[in-house]
Structure 1
Amino acid sequence: MNRQASTTYRKTIIAIHVAVWLVVFLAPLTFFNRGDRFEAEKLVPMISYPLAMMAVFYTMYLHITPRYFFAQDRRRFWILTVALVVTVGVLLHLWMNFTHGLFPKTAEMMHHIPPEHHIRMDVWMILRNISSMAVATAIATMSIITMRWQKAETARQEAELARQKAETARADAELKNLRNQINPHFLLNTLNNIYALTAFDPTRAQEAIMQLSGMLRHVLYDNQQEFVKLQDEVAFIHSYVNLMKMRTPKTCRINVEVDIPEPCNKLVAPLIFISLIENAFKHGIAASGESFISISIKADTEGIECNVENSNHPKLQTDRSGHGIGLQQVQKRLELSYGNRFSWEKGTKENDSIYFSKIMIYDT
């Protein structure tokens, strides 16, 4: 709790205490009839009882309950509480008997009471005083328990809020770090492709560099945003596939299907699908013979679906290009961007001849 809130809280507690005790002290006035005079014999008990209750209340509130109840010394707490209640109850009765003797009217009334009734009256008055003091102790103990519970609950809520803010900040930093890692990872693979083109077709390599320069805007600028338009991401994927086709043998069939509504207002995390497509080109092209790569992107009211399938031609262990970090980043980015509002199925089928990777995003 900050200083301003703590000061406001203390002022509120003080105001509540003042208001409650004003009510306690002024409550006996309701029993006065119109025209009654404030005589001393009436004022003394009217003041003595609230003062006794106040003494018991603050003894419990400021000392006994905080020191013994919350220190788990319950035995001493109950001993002191009972002793306080009984002592104040008896002393209050003795005080009232003493004051009765100071005022002629009251003394005369007490003198006419039969002696055999005095003992019963004394016992009854002491029990009444003890009951009143017990109520004061109960209120004091419950008040401080409630206050401590409220403070603990406020501290817990503030700690929970701080933890959530810290987790959000950490997730944002991790997501930003992952997005920054995509740029060099993507450029590394793309430049490797262009380098391969320069060896046998410089003209096509130049065209590839021109296409790459157009794609860099999406990578360097749009990638810094949390979400981008789905159409922009699809356009980027088309450019990437066209770039990859320049070095792909004609024996590899490449098919891209896009089915999104027009106009489309759906957003997607930038470059979230590109690693799947990179992986398809890495493992889906055979050194000889036919192969295929199929890319399908769909969007509807349920969400966005990206389904990539390719003929399965795993690279040898000696091939360390890409180091497999792309798919690891996809998993982390999906978790950070969408939480549990996505599904990702991947694996092989048809006797391991086809590899598939399907991402379904439900929160768009």
Structure 2
Amino acid sequence: MANDTLEQNRRHPIPTQPTRGSGTLLDAIEGTLADFLAAQIAALDAVDPALGGLARTTRDLVLVGGKRLRPTFAYWGWRGVSAEPIEPVLPALAALELMHTFALVHDDVMDDSATRRGRPTAHRIFERQHGARFGKSAAILVGDLCLVWADQLIARAPLPAATLFGVRARYDRMRVEAVAGQYLDILGESSADGWSVDRALLVARLKTASYTVQRPLQFGLALAGPSSPETLDTAYERYGSLVGEAFQLRDDLLGVFGDPSVTGKPAGDDLRTGKPTALLLLARRLATPAQLALLKTVSLPDAAGLSGAARLSGAAGLSDADIGAVAEVIAETGAVARVESMIRERVAEAVAALAAAPIAAEARAALIELAVRATERPA
């Protein structure tokens, strides 16, 4: 039944409700962000022009693009039980993009990534001004600024105090879980002894599922007020965890096999850093002795006896040919097919979790379509 529903929804676009004007949901999110950021730029410009420059760079990083998945999931989480006008909840929905930018900028600093969305990362932008140390320091401050601005934007939502308290609880949990997942992620790169597929999936649940799908859905439900049904909260929890895991599994595949011109990021970064993704761990488990020998040579965290910091700085010296060879071996082990199967299984289970949930029909259809779009994407 779940698979039939998936096939039906693949043939239809995601329903996107307009606001009271003529724009779409994404137009409303973009407009809310642009207006808020313009005011912040003006305020910092008045203090010192250099601060205005910092704010403008931050604005550009926020508005440069992206899927806007988090506010979209939050919107449908809210719309699942609410027929009210969208305007009062727009600041809270848009705030999730500021939190997302915080996470991306800090993640790029930790990974020393050169590009994001096909453009230079924040620390590389600032590096051009005053060198590498300044670039990383300024980028950290950009992330911090986005997190503060997200708090301010949520506080602007004209909602009852009881509702805002519930929203804030979801938001705080989302942030803690994102930090916890990021810590485990960098721990895996530096000390992956005993790391397992289950632990890699735990990282996926904390780092990705929580703040991409699961908590935004529950955040949106909280925007509808404290009387929202608990059964729907439970369904969102289940759906969000499954779709979020599938989203990260797709990321794992794109990190090795994605087209950089489409993903906006270099291919093979996970292999260069020895990140113990579910894909890589499955490949090791399924590999023949000869295949495992190659994987150990270039992709295990202790490859060449290098520390995580050394690998991140490029000391591992993996060429594009090396990356291509490892990718080919990973595919030959059957790990890619297994991950694709894991993605399909999770999406089907997520759809099933919504089947009996007390949710508006349009929201159910949108969430089913989002589950497919988020996990079958090319970037």
State if a TM-score over 0.5 links the two structures: no
Bigger helix fraction: 2
Bigger strand fraction: 1
Task: Indicate the structure whose relative CO is greater, using CA pairs within 8 Å and at least 6 residues apart.
Answer: 2
Q: TM-score, normalised by structure 2?
A: 0.23
